[in-house]
Amino acid sequence: MNTMHRRQILKSGAAFAGLPAAASLLTAGPLLAAEKPEYVNTGVLNKQPDIGDMALGDPKAPVTIIEYASATCPHCAEFHEKTWPLVKKDYVDTGKVRFIFREFPLDQLALAAFMLMRCAPKEKYHPMLGLIMKTQRTWVQNPKEELLKIAKLAGMKKDQFDACLKNQNLANSIVGISKDANRDFKVNSTPTFFINGRKVVGDMPFDEFRKIIDEELKKAKG
């Protein structure tokens, strides 16, 4: 995360000073693609968190992509704006890939955004994610008002918005997802992907991402 963007987030984070305490949030690390493929235990990886997984695509797809990302990470926003639409079109919508998004908040603003996404109707989760990533630079400047606008688009009312941000159990569950990922899979930067258990760290152009998916598809088909 660039220094200017981090400074803006820290400054605007005061708007959510009343968020439930969620222990220490992990910090962003370098965003570099691994030179050699690294695989993790998919039995552990595929175990759903206690609040469930937010997935798109055929559950029987030969390849599963799990993304850990932060709502305030510029690299994550870049992926969701440029690469993700192509991945969805070519792989998720065609039944080749199942996509799972897991929250990895790097700060209080990201935690607030993720809490609101979880409080909205389930079918609104991924549309909210797309909008939050697309408008990241705007809403972090004035988070309370802008996130409320996004929440209202998802059908939430002001009292639901306020109640959601006071939900201590939800905050703990979301932070728990990131802590488990850090402990079990050494996730320490965003975005981090697991493509059939293959760890891929950092945003990358679609052509590079496609190559890795195709390699895993070929392996899955034997």
Q: pLDDT of 116-172, one tens digit each?
A: 999 999 999 999 999 999 999 999 999 999 999 999 999 999 999 999 999 999 999
pLDDT at 7: 45
pLDDT at 36: 80
* 43 domain residue, yes or no: no
User: What is the chain's mean pLDDT, rounded?
Assistant: 90
Quick check: 6 pLDDT over 80? no
Instruction: Tell how strand 63-69 and strand 38-39 pair up.
Output: unpaired
Domain assignment of residue 111, given as a range: 57-220
214 pLDDT more than 50: yes
The pLDDT score that the predictor gives to residue 21 is 56
Q: What is the pLDDT, as a whole number, of residue 221?
A: 87
Q: Is residue 23 part of a domain?
A: no
Looking at residue 28, what is its pLDDT?
47
Q: Is residue 11's pLDDT more than 70?
A: no
Can you tell me the mean pLDDT for 2-21? Answer: 53
39 falls within a domain: no
**Is 72 within the bounds of a domain?**
yes
9 lies in some domain: no
Mean pLDDT for 67-82 is 97
Of the chain, the percentage scoring pLDDT greater than 90 comes to: 82
Chain-centre distance for alpha carbon 25: 14
CATH for 214 = 3.40.30.10
102 found inside a domain: yes
Could you tell me if residue 73 is inside a domain?
yes
Q: For the whole model, what pTM was predicted?
A: 0.89
- 3-class state of residue 57 by DSSP: coil
Show the DSSP H helices in the chain as ranges.
3-12, 42-45, 74-78, 84-87, 108-119, 125-134, 136-139, 143-153, 158-164, 168-185, 206-220
For 45-58, what is the mean pLDDT?
A: 98
Q: Please state the rounded mean pLDDT for residues 56-81.
A: 98
Segment 96-106 shows an average pLDDT of 98
Asked if 130 contacts 124 with a C-beta cutoff of 8 angstroms, the reply is no
Assigned domain for 20 exists? no
* Domains contained in the chain, number: 1
Quote the tokens at residue 150.
């996004």
